[in-house]
């Protein structure tokens, strides 16, 4: 039996954080009080007409550009027709043929292994309202007594990013979701909060035998709202499909739902085909024109993307995982940038920021940005460690003190008498004294027994009140005893 291979494509919905909704002037920042951000347009009252939100179009063009897409100079709005109580128009304005953006890509890395995920399309649509099913069943429609409808979210601009079926594992899918979220956050077009639903994933999964080309029948697991769930839902679905097929069964193309508590996907409904939606071009909306000039403006004002930022940090000496942590955290990244220039030790500073700095902030229950730590504190500290003036444990103490506002690293190290003896001459004098006091140990070393070196190290440290830089002591000791032999 040949091995199985998973084939995965992901659809991601991203709510844009514009001031107003997609086709009306209602606030897109949804108020808590239900049905207070609605108007005739988003409630689809007769005679109302939609007007596209230019900021939303700028948002989608920004996302498409960051994903390397072709931006269509002219794209079309369609009506996607279906009935659901939280959809006041009984259709959703969406796009079908000619979306705003097509043919992009995103590179994801799993354990240092890069994969190019093709982006099929990025299209513009509007969000639905929200239904709350009330009753014994814990929010499930099946056993609800009644349903509450809130139209505040109806008409909020929604961007859908659709990938090619290029993803081959649940880990890759998670890495894709995480990278897309980072990009959207870096672009500042959405708060991309998975737990709040402003970014959500649909995972399309099928399996096939390794070496075959033809795609298997897929299922689509809808509205997955965390990266961990995305990975778990896909892992479950891959295993389930393989078990069904190995048992001689077949996969039904259907929409499934991820049950977080039980850790399973459950069948929701058979999958609609696009014919079911009776798409037609929205007669209320003209073709959307995005001029070359506008595209260039967006391209020129694109911020640095997360992958470029990570590469920049790695070039400054930071290890891969640390670079990822740094690039994901604005306040750490800006401290790093303020501290590291030219040949300063990026690796050391990166490790402090993602290690001790975060740990101390957590212990003291403060934000790193509220601490007194500055970039020049970090670069001074790194210099002191590199010059052998501070041990690594003393450096941590100084770092904590600098965060607490006790002063600059040099002042703190002075005041607390933490400076190491790093002057080679002083250390040599101490070593000479210790060697003269311990002729037996020196003789043993001369006979090829290296054990007494540790003892002599201890003596030198004691002699210097623990202040000598141990790496220098060790070097001087080895030099001197080798010279004596």
Q: Least distance from C-beta 96 to Mg ion, angstroms?
A: 13
Of 175, 200, 209, 322, the residue nearest 258 (C-alpha):
200
Q: Considering only the stretches 6-14, 43-51, 182-190, 368-376, report the one whose residues sit in contact with ligand ADP under the rule CB under 6 A.
A: 6-14
Give yes or no for residue 18 binding ligand ADP (CB under 6 A): no
Q: Least distance from C-beta 265 to ligand ADP, angstroms?
A: 14
CA distance 419 to 405: 19
The string of DSSP letters for 448-484 reads T--THHHHHHHHHHHHTTT-B-HHHHHHHHHHHHHHH
Q: Which is nearer to Zn ion, 26 or 167 (CB)?
A: 26
Give yes or no for residue 164 binding ligand ADP (CB under 6 A): yes
Of 468, 286, 312, 316, the residue nearest 391 (C-alpha):
468
CA distance 219 to 269: 11
Q: Which is nearer to ligand ADP, 160 or 324 (CB)?
A: 160
For residue 173, the 8-state DSSP code is H
Give yes or no for residue 254 binding ligand ADP (CB under 6 A): no
- The phi and psi torsions of 91 (rounded to 5 degrees) equal -150, 160
Instruction: Give the binding site for Mg ion (CB under 5 A).
Output: 11
Q: Considering only the stretches 21-29, 161-169, 284-292, 357-365, report the one whose residues sit in contact with ligand ADP under the rule CB under 6 A.
A: 161-169
CA distance 425 to 446: 24
Residue in 65, 206, 344, 391 binding ligand ADP, rule: CB under 6 A: 206
Residues 376-410, buried b or exposed e (16+ Cβ, 10 A)?
A: ebbbbbbbbbeebbbbeebbbbbbbbbbeeebbbb
Residue in 7, 44, 251, 358 binding ligand ADP, rule: CB under 6 A: 7
- Tally Cβ neighbours within 10 Å of residue 462: 12
Instruction: Give the binding site for Zn ion (CB under 5 A).
Output: 24, 26, 39, 41-42
Q: Least distance from C-beta 29 to Zn ion, angstroms?
A: 13
Q: Which is nearer to Zn ion, 42 or 175 (CB)?
A: 42
Binder of residue 208, out of Mg ion, Zn ion, ligand ADP, none (CB less than 5 to 8 A by kind): none
Give yes or no for residue 215 binding ligand ADP (CB under 6 A): yes
Q: Are 420 and 469 in contact (CB under 8 A)?
A: yes
Give yes or no for residue 204 binding ligand ADP (CB under 6 A): yes
Give yes or no for residue 9 binding ligand ADP (CB under 6 A): yes
The site for ligand ADP (CB under 6 A) is made up of: 7-11, 162-165, 204-206, 215-216, 218, 220
């Amino acid at each position: 039996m040949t091995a199985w291979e998973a084939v995965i494509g992901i659809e991601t919905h991203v709510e844009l954080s514009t001031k107003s909704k997609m086709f009306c002037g209602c606030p897109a920042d949804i108020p808590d009080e239900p049905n207070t951000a609605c108007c005739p347009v988003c409630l689809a009252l007769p005679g109302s007409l939609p007007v596209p939100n230019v900021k939303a179009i700028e948002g989608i063009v920004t996302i498409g550009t960051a994903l390397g897409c072709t931006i269509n100079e002219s794209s079309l709005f369609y009506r996607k027709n279906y009935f659901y109580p939280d959809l006041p128009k009984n259709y959703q304005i969406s796009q079908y043929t000619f979306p705003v953006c097509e043919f992009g890509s995103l590179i994801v890395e799993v354990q240092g292994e890069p994969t190019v995920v093709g982006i099929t399309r990025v299209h513009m649509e509007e969000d639905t309202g929200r239904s709350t099913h009330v009753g014994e069943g814990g929010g499930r429609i099946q056993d609800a007594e009644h349903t509450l409808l809130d139209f505040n979210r109806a008409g909020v601009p929604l961007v859908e990013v659709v990938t090619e079926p290029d993803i081959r594992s649940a880990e890759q899918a998670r890495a894709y979701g995480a990278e897309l979220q980072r990009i959207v956050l870096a672009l500042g077009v959405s708060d991309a909060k998975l737990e709040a639903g402003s970014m959500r994933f649909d995972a399309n999964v099928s399996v096939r035998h390794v070496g075959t080309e033809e795609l298997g029948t897929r299922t689509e697991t809808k509205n997955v709202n965390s990266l961990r769930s995305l990975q778990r839902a896909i892992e479950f679905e891959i295993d389930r499909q393989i078990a069904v097929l190995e048992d001689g069964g077949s996969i039904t193309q259907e929409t499934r739902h991820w049950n977080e508590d039980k850790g399973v996907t459950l069948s929701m409904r058979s999958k609609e085909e696009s014919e079911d939606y009776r798409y037609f071009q929205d007669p209320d909306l003209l073709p959307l024109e995005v001029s070359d000039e506008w595209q260039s403006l967006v391209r020129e004002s694109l911020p640095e993307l997360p992958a470029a930022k990570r590469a920049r940090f790695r070039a400054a000496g930071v290890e891969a995982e640390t670079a990822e942590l740094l690039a994901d955290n604005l306040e750490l990244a800006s401290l790093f940038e303020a501290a590291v220039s030219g040949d300063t030790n990026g690796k050391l500073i990166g490790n402090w920021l993602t290690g001790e700095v975060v740990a101390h902030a957590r212990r003291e229950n403060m934000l790193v940005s509220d601490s007194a730590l500055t970039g020049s504190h970090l670069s001074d500290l790194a210099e002191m460690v590199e010059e052998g003036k501070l041990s690594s444990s003393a450096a941590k103490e100084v770092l904590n003190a600098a965060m607490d506002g006790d002063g600059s690293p040099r002042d703190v190290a002075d005041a607390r008498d933490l400076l190491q003896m790093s002057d080679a001459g002083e250390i040599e004098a101490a070593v000479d004294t210790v060697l003269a006091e311990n002729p037996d140990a020196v003789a043993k070393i001369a006979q090829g027994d290296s054990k007494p070196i540790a003892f002599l190290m201890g003596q030198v440290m004691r002699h210097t009140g623990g202040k000598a830089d141990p790496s220098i002591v060790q070097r001087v000791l080895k030099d001197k005893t080798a010279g004596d032999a």
